Amino acid sequence: MTTILASASPRRAELLRQIGLEFVISPSDIDESIHKSESVEAYVQRMATSKANVVKHASQLGDIVIAADTVVS
């Protein structure tokens, strides 16, 4: 079982290292355009879910995928 960070964010990686988590980094390549009339909350949730799904489909059964997204508004 491998823990996978679905992000290239150095800050997210540092936060996981601070709690002693061992993980590999596997950023997803997705379109991060906001949809017309999409709320900020819906956008962030869609991005995190999409990143997790892309990486999960490329991972092994039992791997743990961590994905997140942030927006400053």
Rounded CA separation 60/3 (Å): 10
Whether 69 is catalytic = yes
Looking at 18-71, which runs of residues are DSSP E strands?
24-25, 64-66
C-alpha distance across the termini of the chain, in Å: 37
Q: Which of 29, 31, 63, 69 is catalytic?
A: 69
Token pair listed for 10: 């150095």
Residues carrying an active site annotation: 69
